[in-house]
Structure 1
Amino acid sequence: MAIKWKIDPAHSEIQFKVKHLMITTVTGYFKEFDLEVETETEDIHTAKRIEFTADIDSIDTNNAQRDTHLKSSDFFNAEEHPQLKFVGLNYSADGDTATLRGQLTIRNITKPVLLNIEYGGQVVDPYGQTKAGFTVEGKINRKDFDLTWDAVTEAGQVVVSNEIKLHAEVQLVKQG
């Protein structure tokens, strides 16, 4: 019988990082997201189904003007594509490290993605809930997903890098 796990949004965060003018890094977050995992046993490393979604309208880069631009048709086009989705296809663990291969869909474009996972452990919290923690790292090329807006400064400097670094701190709660 499959065991279901859900993300604990109060103890998880989903980030992305991108170089601006190739000299500094801007960090953004998705504030609204969901993650469901099914495992074959009590061992979280037996994950057989992993599905993650994030609401594009929940983007927060600590700058309202930039957030509005990211939600526009220049980037995510939140009106037509309100969510991004990741479906895990192959979770392979070796001790406290793992890789997760899956399919990321942004703007109805689906591409393979490889994520590196660091397992933080599994505990029972003071309320009797079983929780598992992970740090997730990866990177994508934004242009692979039709996030193609570009600008160049007068001096020829690129405004936004093509490489987007992904980082997530994830706490799962065993259901039932």
Structure 2
Amino acid sequence: MSIDIPAGRYALDPVHSFLQFATHFVGARVRGTFRGLSGHLEIAEDLTKSSVQAQIDVTTLSTGVSARDDHLRSADYFDAANHPVATFASSGLVPDGDRFLLAGDLTIRGTTRSVELEVRFSGDGEDQTGAFRMGFTAYGRVSRSAFGVNGNVSKVGGPLLIGDTTDITLELQTTRES
């Protein structure tokens, strides 16, 4: 299947984009979001030569529970006071049927690791102001401890309360730059 994605430079729309995460906490899944996304996409005529640069404002983390949010922003987890921004820089894009596999370097708490995201094109079109927009959804799974996000408590000899594997979903809307 061929996907027609118009070439050009696109800015992430921070109002219509977010990153959601979910991780295991004692028998349930805790979900949260980061609303502070910025960055741009360079869509090349040859899609495999396209690139993505993105920044995530860690201070915008929200799980809906302010005490938990404050703890997650603390040095136990994201250390937002010293590392307020996480970054992603793509290193490769491979078409795979109706999706793409996007490889890149994710940096959290000053630690960079390679990650792979499954990306799906959601569509495009002009909005009410005439701006050309495109949407994408991306999925991935990361080990939070690989980035030094290690906070966890348990009873002595007991199981860890928070899982290491974190699922991430990005809903992205972009606007073509002039």
| TM, length-normalised to structure 1 | 0.90
- Give the alignment partner of residue 96 of structure 1, picking from 98, 102, 113: 98
- Give the alignment partner of residue 79 of structure 2, picking from 74, 77, 80: 77
> SS state of the match for residue 10, structure 1?
coil
Residue 36 (1) aligns with residue 37 (2): no
The alpha-carbon deviation at position 7 of structure 1 amounts to: 1.2
Structure 2 alignment gaps of length 5 or more: 1-6
The aligned residue for residue 62 of structure 2 is 60
* Distance in 2 of aligned mates of 1:130 and 1:46: 22
Residue 24 (1) aligns with residue 13 (2): no
Please say if residues 139 and 166 of structure 1, whose CA atoms lie closer than 8 Å, have aligned partners that are also in contact: yes
Please say if residues 130 and 174 of structure 1, whose CA atoms lie closer than 8 Å, have aligned partners that are also in contact: yes
The alpha-carbon deviation at position 158 of structure 1 amounts to: 2.3
* Distance in 2 of aligned mates of 1:120 and 1:65: 35
When structure 1 is superposed on structure 2, of 120-129 and 103-112 the one drifting more is 120-129
When structure 1 is superposed on structure 2, of 154-163 and 87-96 the one drifting more is 154-163
CA RMSD of aligned residues (A): 1.8
Aligned length: 172
Please say if residues 4 and 36 of structure 1, whose CA atoms lie closer than 8 Å, have aligned partners that are also in contact: yes
The alpha-carbon deviation at position 96 of structure 1 amounts to: 2.9
Q: Which deviations, in whole Å up to 9, do the C-alpha atoms of 1:90-125 show, x marking residues without a partner?
A: 112245310100000011110000000111122222
> SS state of the match for residue 86, structure 2?
strand
Structure 1 alignment gaps of length 5 or more: none
| TM, length-normalised to structure 2 | 0.89
> Does the C-alpha gap of structure 1 residues 175 and 95 become closer, same or farther in structure 2, counting only changes over 3 Å?
farther
